């Protein structure tokens, strides 16, 4: 940015919090265009979720559940290492940066996410995806309280020398704002999950939105009032009341109660699927110019036409685009 470049930075943007304040300061000082991944902020699916929540399709939101699980070596960051990886083809010193100095290690270079010296572990790498989608859909700026984090430290399956955990579960509280009511968020990332599923559930009093990578489904069952039979004969303990009291209740509840009234009477499609071949990762590789003066016009230009890959590898998560 200080060199006058527009920057697209893959997540995680930084490893340590102080580094983040330095990046923000540089963006403010230079006025450069700076964009950070995650592609969920550009996804058609989460834009649709945002529309549904805003329109009241599920009523006031009260909770969100999100999990990003994996069940493969590549998903667990055991990336393939090029056969010619060596100090001659890898800029090892530049990669280490401020990390502890050590001899060249191709595993650490190409599987850097597995080590605390270089990455942010599962939470910093994958919770960010979940949080980005949720914040985009709800309009939230983030939680005010982390209610709990469990599992950090678990290394039960991938015993390959890594020092980051495989499983983490988090609970967060979000306050009421002008964008949304208060809600609770439950997050999970598990690299040892035999099903390897990824799923979001946006839960409201009138329904639930279930979201995957390419589709969503809307269930508007809502809060269901019990029938007369449910009250008198169901799992409600009335059958243990005295006979006279049961009879009295039976006389009082002659008709089923009216159904619960939904927050909105509008109807919505029950399913939404992205177009064939759609990939939100492409949508993320665009810039919206925020410059002033002669460059105030907003642009959305795909990041294309990169120079050929250099002969020397350099592990960095930032791409620079020259105007």
Domains of the chain: 1-36+285-323 (no CATH), 38-223+266-278 (3.30.360.10), 225-258 (no CATH)
Predicted local confidence at residue 130, as pLDDT: 92
Predicted local confidence at residue 102, as pLDDT: 97
Low-confidence residues of the chain, pLDDT below 50? 287-323
Q: What is the pLDDT of residues 32-70, one digit of tens each?
A: 999 887 778 878 899 999 999 999 999 999 999 999 999
Predicted local confidence at residue 264, as pLDDT: 61
- Angle among Cα 140, 144, 148 to the nearest 5 degrees reads 115
- 319: β partners: 8
* 3-state SS track over 49-86: HHHHHHHCCCCCEEEEEEEEECCCCCCCCCCCCCCCCC
* Integer Cα distance of 3 and 320 in angstroms: 10
- 271: β partners: 217
- Angle among Cα 184, 190, 193 to the nearest 5 degrees reads 120
Predicted local confidence at residue 322, as pLDDT: 33
* Integer Cα distance of 61 and 135 in angstroms: 13
* Integer Cα distance of 100 and 95 in angstroms: 11
CA dihedral 90, 91, 95, 97 (to 10 degrees): 160
Predicted local confidence at residue 8, as pLDDT: 85
Q: Where are the alpha helices (DSSP H) in 161-261?
A: 228-233, 243-252
Predicted local confidence at residue 263, as pLDDT: 60
pTM of the model: 0.80
């Amino acid at each position: 940015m200080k060199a006058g470049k527009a920057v697209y930075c893959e997540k995680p943007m930084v490893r340590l919090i102080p580094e983040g304040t330095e990046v923000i300061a540089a963006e403010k000082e230079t006025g450069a265009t700076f964009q950070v991944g995650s592609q969920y902020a550009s996804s058609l699916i989460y834009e649709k979720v945002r529309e549904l929540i805003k329109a009241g399709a599920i009523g006031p939101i009260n909770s969100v559940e999100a999990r990003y699980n994996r069940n493969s070596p590549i998903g667990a960051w055991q990336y393939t290492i090029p056969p010619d990886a060596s100090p001659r083809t890898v800029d090892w010193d530049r990669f280490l940066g401020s990390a502890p100095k050590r001899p060249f290690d191709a595993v650490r270079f190409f599987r850097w996410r597995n080590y605390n010296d270089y990455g942010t572990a599962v939470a910093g790498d994958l919770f960010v995806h979940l949080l980005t989608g949720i914040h985009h859909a709800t309009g939230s700026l983030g939680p005010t309280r982390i209610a709990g984090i469990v599992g950090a430290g678990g290394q039960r399956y991938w015993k390959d020398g890594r020092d980051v955990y495989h499983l983490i579960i988090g609970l967060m509280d979000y306050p009421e704002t002008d964008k949304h009511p208060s809600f609770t968020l439950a997050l999970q990332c598990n690299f040892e999950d035999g099903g390897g599923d990824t799923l979001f559930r946006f839960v409201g009093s009138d329904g639930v939105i279930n979201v995957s990578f390419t589709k969503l489904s809307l269930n508007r069952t809502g809060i269901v009032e019990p029938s007369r039979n449910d009250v008198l004969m169901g799992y409600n303990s009335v059958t243990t009341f005295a006979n006279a009291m049961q009879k009295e209740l039976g006389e009082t509840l002659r008709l089923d109660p009216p159904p619960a009234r939904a927050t909105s009477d509008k109807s919505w499609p029950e399913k939404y699927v992205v177009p064939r071949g759609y990939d939100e990762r492409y949508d993320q590789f665009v810039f919206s110019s925020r410059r002033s003066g002669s460059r105030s016009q907003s642009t959305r230009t795909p990041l294309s036409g990169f120079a050929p890959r250099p002969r020397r590898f350099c592990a960095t998560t930032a791409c620079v685009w020259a105007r």
